[in-house]
Structure 1
Amino acid sequence: MQQYPTNQPCRVCGRATTQWCSRCQTAWYCSTEHARGDWARHREECRPASHGYGNNMIATPPPAEPQSISVSAILFVAEEERPRVVTINCRPPHHRPSNGCPIPFLQPYFDSPPESVVLTQGLNGEPLRFPLHIFYSPIALAKASPINRAIYHITSGAAPKPWAGTAVVLKFNGARRQGYTDAGANDLPALSAYFLTYQ
């Protein structure tokens, strides 16, 4: 008969317990409440167990907050000649995560909170199946910061008003705009058309 560990200390309060995390079977808790309360820390180390001790398990609680996601975005840096693809991390919205659009982490690219515009039409005014979400610095535009050379390049310098400051472009995963998908080189023609008409 196999021996099962007993009377291990609860990770939260230290009380002796015979219950453990159902996923890794290495973290001991005296109650479901303590398992849930410790999940934010424990999930970093929780790995599926290759063996089982029996039925005296506490189900590992789901994460308190959904995990962040990463998508490819197009970055137009003012000082660079060409746009490039970067990875942007997004966190789910606080309210109604199943219905809201993730919130991108854009702090590395802007000194102040950016504003945004949604591009729903492409070349010749045709509707985009996957609208483009353009983030920019209103301060840079208002101050006439250095001309964005990457945008100048994709428009061949033909825009009536040059774009100033950095721009980051994310791509919605559909017309309902409830999430993002990877943006890439195929989105440049629609962006070029937009920057050519920017006033």
Structure 2
Amino acid sequence: MSENLSLIQHPCALCFKPTSMWCSRCQNAWYCSPEHLNSDWARHRRECVPVAPTQQQYGIIATPPPAQTQLITVSAILFAPEEEKPRTITLNCQPPQTPSQGICPTPLVQDYFVGGQANSVVLTQGLNGEPLRFPLHLFYSPVSLSTGAPINRAIYRITSGAAPKAWCGAVVVLKFNGSRRQGYSDAGTNDLPALSAYFLAYK
């Protein structure tokens, strides 16, 4: 009986090729390979309800999904208070727990700020008030000034000391991948002129 059941074929949820392998988490979706389960995981995870493991596997090879959602990695700009120049860093972002249109990943910036807390502002205009095609997302510490954090030397330098407000503490800048702000793309040195104009105009 078990030998016959092991030959039952179902269409792969991704390519429809006949297969006898299933998602071991829900045991309700069929895949011809672990790679196809991984490729379809962003969609399938929304319907993948875990079931209690059964003793009757009938020789079917289960293909477990990834244990956790992979972090998204992007390039960001770090204005460290003790450094003379801003630099590009690699920053992880946590994808939304329930993927849906319009929800942006959460940047994991807490390690750069006192107490792990940061406020943010979205910069939508660049030089001369021109709208930015890719808005910039700035994270800063709301308590840096009150805690006696040093003046940010990197910001002081790119503004030639002419900013009306002395920025203190770290600033981390990410770049949205479009005006709808549903994700991030890599930020870099091309974004510094718009940032400099913002720091000079901020009061």
TM-score, normalised with respect to structure 1: 0.70
Q: How far, CA to CA, are the matches of 2:66 and 2:102 in structure 1?
A: 18
Counterpart pick for 1:75 among 56, 74, 78: 78
Aligned-residue CA RMSD (Å): 2.9
Counterpart mapping for 1:152-163 below 5 A: 152-163=156-167
Q: How far, CA to CA, are the matches of 1:36 and 1:98 in structure 2?
A: 25
Match status 1:177 vs 2:166: no
Q: How far, CA to CA, are the matches of 1:131 and 1:64 in structure 2?
A: 33
Change (3 A) 1:96 1:89: same
User: Shift of residue 108 of structure 1?
Assistant: 2.0
SS of residue matched to 2:194: helix
Q: How far, CA to CA, are the matches of 1:148 and 1:169 in structure 2?
A: 14
CA contact (8 A) 2:114 2:144 kept: no
What letter matches 1:175 in structure 2? S
CA contact (8 A) 2:74 2:184 kept: yes
Q: How far, CA to CA, are the matches of 1:174 and 1:190 in structure 2?
A: 16
SS of residue matched to 1:138: coil
Match status 1:105 vs 2:108: yes
User: Shift of residue 119 of structure 1?
Assistant: 0.2
The 10-residue stretch of structure 1 (101-110 or 115-124) with the greater mean CA deviation from structure 2:
101-110
Gaps of 5+ in 1: 1-5, 8-17, 23-30, 38-45, 49-55
Q: How far, CA to CA, are the matches of 2:79 and 2:120 in structure 1?
A: 14
Change (3 A) 1:131 1:141: farther
Q: How far, CA to CA, are the matches of 1:98 and 1:67 in structure 2?
A: 18
The 10-residue stretch of structure 1 (58-67 or 131-140) with the greater mean CA deviation from structure 2:
58-67
SS of residue matched to 1:60: coil
Query: Where does residue 126 of structure 1 map in the other structure?
Result: 130
User: Shift of residue 163 of structure 1?
Assistant: 0.6
CA contact (8 A) 2:73 2:92 kept: yes
Counterpart mapping for 1:12-23 below 5 A: none
User: Shift of residue 91 of structure 1?
Assistant: 1.1
Q: Percent identity?
A: 63
Query: Where does residue 169 of structure 2 map in the other structure?
Result: 165
SS of residue matched to 2:63: coil
What letter matches 1:94 in structure 2? Q
